Each structure stands twice: as C-alpha cells, then as structure tokens.
Structure 1
Amino acid sequence: MDLFLLKKIISAMIMPLSVILLLLLIAIIFYRLKPKLSFSALLIASALLFLSTFPPLSDTLMAPLEDNYPAFSKQEKSVDYIVILGGAHTTVDRLPATSQLKSSSLERLVEAVRIYRLHPEAQVITSGFAGGDISSNAEKVKQAAILLGIPKHKIITENFPQDTEEEAQLIAPRVINKTVVLVTSANHLPRAMAYFEKYGVKAIPAPASPWVKESSTKQWNYYLPSAKKLQQTTTVWYETLGRVVQWFKSW
C-alpha cells in the first residue's frame, strides 16, 4: 500500500468522530455480553461527542494554532511570489471552478486574490495533486483564480505535491532567496512555515480564514453543541497530529 494512503487511512481512523462511532459500536456489541464495558463505552462516546461539539472548548483548542501570525498587509518592498498551498475540490463541469473548490481551497484563494491586488507585480503559484480527481488541485485553483481576475500568464502550477512537506520541497528551488508570501489556512500556517523554512524559504505568512473570530458579545446559542464545532475540533486534532509527525521528522 502507498505510504501516503496508509497515513491518510490511519489519521482518519483516529479522528474524533471515528473514535465515537467505534465506541458506540462496542457499546452495541457488548450490550448483553459485558454490560459494564458497554455502559463505559457509551459514556465515553457521549462525553467525547459533547466535548468535541462544545464551542468554548473547541475554540480554546483552536486559538493557539491560529494566533501565531497577523493578517497580511501591504509590504514596503515588492513581492515576487504568492504561494497558495493545496486544499481540496471536486470537479463538476457544469459548475464554475470557484464552486468546485471546497472551503479550504476557496478561502486560501480569496486571501491570495486580496494579496495579489495589493501586489500585482507578484506571480501566483498554486499547488496540490489530484487526489483521485481528474484535475489537480493546483489546476482547479488556477482556473478559479482566473475567474477572479488574476491573469493566466501570472499563474504557475505545481500539480504533484501530495502533502505540505512535498509542497515545500518542490516549490523551494523556484522561490528561494525571493520575496514570498505563503497563503494557507490560519491553523495550518505554523506547520507550513516550518516546512518551508526547512527547505530554505523565509516566507511572509498570510493566514486565511481563521475559525475563531473573537467577539465581545456571545449569544446564548454559542454555548450549545454544534456540528460545525465537531468539524473544527477534528481540524485541531488533524493539525496537532501533523505537528507531532513534523516534530518526530525533525529528529
């Protein structure tokens, strides 16, 4: 089996929802055979589900990942490259490319377009492999970028990187010793910056669309469990695992 695929399968199996479903399955299977085990599994699953969907806890876990870099602002010097790290998409020919992008890719692209308008002298690099789709994420983001006004001749695609480290490894030779803006999701940016620095690129961070947006007033429903917060907690867990793997690799 491909090492990349194995890594994705293992990470999917230890995400919060997968663990909750496994515990519920154990509770059902051992309902008559081992009632105490069944009850314990049900109790842990219920607690994990509540904690994973509880907004204050989810925000508390996410905030440290996102608070490392401020929003990008116009630089005094010119920018050579704007690098958009890969996300995800689904090709559907009847839809415009912007609608084929999943949220992470679209959010990163929108931030990159904003930066390009501040620095139209820059070239844009899109990145990301196909991941089972007929088009690479790099190509799909390029198509969407053109729809949003970035000239086709200003966009370079890197169609083959499968993960963040491969993106840094493949893009670095082109941008090293240049002024580079690195655009990715706010929670993913610390890990991405570390990989690019590993390969000699001192990039300017550009966090896109943070999950946690502080507000002085919170409505009562903020304290109710939310499916969206389960997704946020899953993102925290995934990114934390990624940083642990990165730390081990550094040894």
Structure 2
Amino acid sequence: MDLLIKLLLTPVVQLLLLLLLSMLAAWRNSHHLKKLLLLQLACGLLLTSKPIADWLAAPLELAYPAFAQQQVKHIAVLGCSHANATFLPISSQLDSCSSARLLEATQIWRRQPQALIHLSGSIKDRREAHTEVARRFLVALGVPDQQIRLHPDATDTEGEITLLIKAIPATEPMALVTSAMHMPRAMRWFTSANRLPVAAPADYHLRRNPEDPLRWQAWLPTVNAMETFGYAFYEYAGLLEQHIRLHQLNRQFQN
C-alpha cells in the first residue's frame, strides 16, 4: 500500500488529525469544539484499550494454528524490518517482528535440519539488505550458511511470494513463517497461485487466552494496544486491497 495510506492507518496519526481539527475549531470559535474534544477522548480510550485491540486482532491471529512439526523440506520466512544502526549487535538490529519470525524458523529447522530456510524481503532505504541481516542472525543462532537461501528482490508480500513460488518446487512441502496477523493475507496470495504451504505463525500480539476472564487492570490504557490497533487496521486494509486486486486479476483472466 502507498505510504500515505499506511500513515493514515496509524492510530497516532488519527489522533493527531483529531487534535488538529480541535485546534482549528478552537481557533474559529466553532460550536463543534466540545464534540471534537469528546470524540478525541473517546478515540484515545478506544485505541489504548488492549481488550478491544485483542478483539480486533483475534480473527487474524487465530486464523491458523501454531506449527505442529509437519514434515517440510523448505521454510519460507517473509521479511519485516530492521534498523540502519550497524553499531548495534545483530540481536538488536532486527525489529521484533523479524526476530520472532526468524526464531520460529530456527525452531522448525532444529527439528528438521534437512530443510532449507528461504529469506525474502527488501527495504529500499536500508544500508544493508534485509535478507543479509536476517541471514547473519540465523547463522548466529547456529543455522549453517548452506541451509539458507536469499530472495532479496521484492518489497511487498505479493512480490516475495511470487519469488518463493518460483524458487520452491510445488511438489516439496513448505512451511510459511510470518507474523500471525499477517498470515491470512500471505496465505491467500499462495492459494491464489494454487500453492498451500503449512502455516507457521509467529510474532503474536494476542497474549491472552480468549476464554480467560478479564481483570479490571486489562482495561487500563496501554501503548501496546495502539500498536496492535495499528497493525490490525493495516492488515484489514491490506486484505481489502488484496480482495480487489485478485478480483481484477480474475476478471482479466476470464476475459
């Protein structure tokens, strides 16, 4: 998705836009000022509520179960992000989404050391290729270099999956590792190409069993809730965009 859309889907930006409207209303002595301030307060409470954020994220994160050590020959890890700060140790250069995915891939590989690990994803404004940082992290965890394959030429999920489909034979079983909230969109790209990898979700935002009773402390505002909201908004928007794109591709194919 375009950078502007990504920014507008960020809860912090949404709150700032409401604040800007409130300041504009105050400057113009608008009678809507109180309503805007109340709306801003309500949005702030909503976006910092972890139970509501979890409720929004649950349909995405629980769509696929955790990997159950099905036999695979390939472990495909979709890229996320890393820092430009090369002075940091390798364990700190990767964003939490990347390190969680790579740790899950390593855990699968340790039980199935014959499997190849495929790393994909590219970030244009980084000094070092994302796949190279991920490779060094895997090597530091004990994965042999010869068991790693790099696919650095894609900057979005669709492109990554296109490269992986070309690189991995359809007859050889594959585990797909990505963030749990991102898994439904990633799996849909695979199924649209008649491929069905085994889902291996990682990097969960939902940290509580849905059946467990909520304590009152759970409703206190948290910054983590805003992060979960932002990721969920982004993924739902991505699924909508994907649905439209796949519909257009199907119409072109039929014509």
Please tell me the residue identity of whatever aligns with 1:41: L
Q: Equivalent residue for 1:210?
A: 204
Structure 2 unaligned regions, length at least 5: 248-255
Please tell me the residue identity of whatever aligns with 1:23: L
CA contact under 8 A between 2:9 and 2:234: conserved in structure 1? no
Q: Equivalent residue for 1:136?
A: 129
Are the structure 2 counterparts of residues 218 and 14 from structure 1 closer, same or farther at C-alpha, using a change threshold of 3 Å?
Answer: closer
For the residue of structure 2 that corresponds to 1:169, the secondary structure is helix
For the residue of structure 1 that corresponds to 2:19, the secondary structure is helix
Runs of 4+ in 1 over 6 A off after TM superposition: none
CA contact under 8 A between 1:16 and 1:48: conserved in structure 2? no
Structure 1 unaligned regions, length at least 5: none
Normalised TM-score (structure 1): 0.92
Count of matched residue pairs: 244
2:76 to 83, 105, 118: 83
Q: Equivalent residue for 1:182?
A: 176
Q: Equivalent residue for 2:140?
A: 147
Q: Distance in 2 between matches of 1:226 and 1:220?
A: 13
CA contact under 8 A between 1:172 and 1:200: conserved in structure 2? no
1:228 to 219, 224, 242: 224
Q: Distance in 1 between matches of 2:154 and 2:238?
A: 16
Q: Distance in 1 between matches of 2:159 and 2:40?
A: 36
Q: Distance in 1 between matches of 2:225 and 2:242?
A: 25
Within-5 A mapping of 1:153-172? 153-172=146-165
CA contact under 8 A between 2:122 and 2:153: conserved in structure 1? yes
Offset at residue 238 of structure 1 (A): 0.5
Please tell me the residue identity of whatever aligns with 1:194: R
Q: Distance in 1 between matches of 2:49 and 2:240?
A: 24
Offset at residue 221 of structure 1 (A): 2.0
Identity rate, percent: 32
Superposed CA deviations along residues 74-93 of structure 1, whole A, max 9, x for unmatched, are 22x4x221011010001333
CA contact under 8 A between 2:9 and 2:230: conserved in structure 1? no
Root mean square deviation of aligned Cα: 1.5
Q: Equivalent residue for 2:33?
A: 38
